Amino acid sequence: MSVAQNLLQLVAQSQWANAKWVDVVYAQARQDARPRELLAHIMLSECVWFERIAGQQVTTTTFSVLTKDELLRGFAENVATYRQLIGARLPDVVHFRRATGEEYHAMVADIIYHLVTHGYHHRGQLAAHYARAGVPYPSVDHIDYLIQNRL
């Protein structure tokens, strides 16, 4: 499997996992803000990085509470951007400034790996949040994705 194929599969798994988490979070009778913020943070952080890659960062906040439809639409739009970047820009080097002010550079491929693992991290926080509360939550690891999608 090539790097591009691997990244496309990881992005597909992340989209699948994000959609499952959106369904769980927005189905809860008790609407805690933190899980909604974490989901928005995953999606908005992707937007920030895509804007950095495009050389025109405009998104300034990555912790918001969005509606279910806004999240699902944002994640779907981001998947389209991922596919474009994976298809054409993996070796490109992007110079950027992080929120901390630190200037750095990275290849688009490394930024995509960063975003995929960033999503894993925050979905893990969601799992811990619901586990502490005794609320059932989805298993969205990579093997579950492969099994459920018969890949």
Q: What is the CATH number of the domain that holds 40?
A: 1.20.120.450
CA-closest candidate to residue 118, choices 47, 65, 51: 47
Which residue type sits at 18?
N
Tell me the average pLDDT across 82-104. 94
The pLDDT of residue 143 = 94
CB 135 within 8 A of CB 30: no
In the chain, how many domains are there?
A: 1
94's tokens: 């992007």
CA-closest candidate to residue 14, choices 91, 128, 123, 136: 123
Extended beta strands in the chain, E state: 93-97, 103-107
pLDDT tens digits for 68-84?
Answer: 999 999 999 999 999 99
CB 86 within 8 A of CB 9: no
CB 43 within 8 A of CB 75: yes
pLDDT tens digits for 51-65?
Answer: 999 999 888 788 889
Domain hosting 121: range is 3-148
**Where does the pLDDT of residue 118 fall: very low under 50, low under 70, confident under 90, or very high at 90 and above?**
very high
Q: Is the pTM of this model over 0.75?
A: yes
